[in-house]
């Protein structure tokens, strides 16, 4: 297999991709649907939906956990230039602990965080329990989220996670599940199953939510920033 990145060229790749992502932001129109009214949350999503972080309100106030892989380094450099905050841990168990402590600190300080709960390497769409432990220690709810579009400009990459992202002018929906609260007596596996079920349910319901937003023409009403919409199917 030919490696597209190495220690010498990943900086050049991130510099090349940044203007593409930055320009795409102008043509990506996101409506938030059923977003829970919580002040601070740990947003949980599948790895293939990681770019829905762009639609979580003011994403410039959002901390995103990014792996220490070469691909992660490219992503981190791009989204930091766009205004995101990133959380990085060094490789190995010590790095995982370091990243976890950063997440807990950010959440306790009232900032939001986002995690891809089946990452960093899968299996795809199987939630891990790390997000449950972090939510308990930080004392914040978990908010499941996914995004969707029917536009032909919505592309899927041939990667392990089936990463999806918009290309050119694209109308998108961010659909949120109910906030999941974790207390000291909560069972990790039960909460993990609840999160798994919520994310699977969002995958099933989001096409209908998209059609509802399309019917009301909500993208046309607010182009400059994400708008929120309550949907009761």
pLDDT digits (tens, 9 = 90+) for 19-64: 888 888 888 999 999 999 999 999 999 999 988 998 898 777 899 9
Q: Would 63 be classed as within a structural domain? A: yes
Q: Could you tell me the pTM of the whole model?
A: 0.88
Distances (CA, A) of 93 to 67, 99, 109, 142, 198: 13, 10, 25, 23, 29
Assigned domain for 3 exists: no
Q: What is the pLDDT of residues 188-219, one digit of tens each?
A: 999 999 999 999 999 999 999 999 999 988 88
Asked, as a colleague might, if the bond just before 120 is cis with ω within 30 of 0, I would say: yes
Does residue 4 lie in a domain region?
Answer: no
On whether residue 174 sits in a domain, the answer given is: yes
Kindly state whether residue 67 falls inside one of the protein's structural domains.
Answer: yes
- 2 is a domain residue: no
Domain that holds residue 183: 10-229
Taking 60 as the threshold, does the pLDDT of residue 2 lie above it? no
- 3-state DSSP call for residue 38? coil
CB atoms within 10 A of CB 190: 10
Name the domain count of the chain: 1
Q: What share of the chain is helix, strand, coil (3-state, %, to 5)?
A: 45, 20, 35
- Is residue 1 assigned to a domain? no
5 inside domain: no
Task: Output the average pLDDT for the chain.
Answer: 86
216: domain CATH number? 3.40.1130
| DSSP letters spanning 84-141 | -EEE---SHHHHHHHHHHHHHHHHHTT-EEEEETTTTT--TT---SHHHHHHHHHT--
Please give the DSSP secondary-structure letter assigned to residue 179.
P
């Amino acid at each position: 297999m030919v490696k597209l990145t190495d220690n010498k060229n990943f900086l050049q790749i991130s510099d090349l991709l940044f203007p593409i992502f930055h320009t795409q932001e102008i043509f990506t129109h996101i409506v938030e649907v059923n977003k829970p009214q919580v002040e601070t949350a740990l947003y949980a999503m599948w790895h293939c939906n990681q770019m829905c972080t762009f639609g979580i309100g003011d994403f410039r106030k959002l901390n995103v956990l990014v792996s220490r892989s070469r691909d992660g380094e490219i992503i981190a450099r791009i989204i930091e230039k766009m205004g995101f905050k990133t959380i990085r841990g060094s490789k190995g168990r010590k790095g995982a602990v370091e990243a976890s402590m950063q997440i807990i600190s950010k959440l306790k300080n009232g900032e939001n965080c986002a995690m891809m709960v089946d990452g960093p390497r899968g299996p795809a769409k199987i939630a891990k329990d790390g997000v449950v432990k972090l939510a308990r220690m930080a004392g914040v709810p978990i908010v499941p989220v996914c995004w969707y579009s029917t536009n032909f400009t919505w592309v899927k990459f041939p990667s392990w996670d089936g990463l999806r992202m918009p290309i050119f002018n694209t109308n998108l929906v961010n659909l949120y599940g109910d906030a999941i609260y974790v207390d000291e007596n909560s069972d990790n596996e039960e909460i993990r199953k609840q999160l798994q079920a919520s994310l699977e349910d969002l995958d099933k319901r989001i096409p209908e939510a998209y059609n509802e937003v399309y019917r009301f023409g909500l993208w046309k009403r607010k182009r400059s920033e994400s708008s929120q919409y309550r949907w009761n199917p």
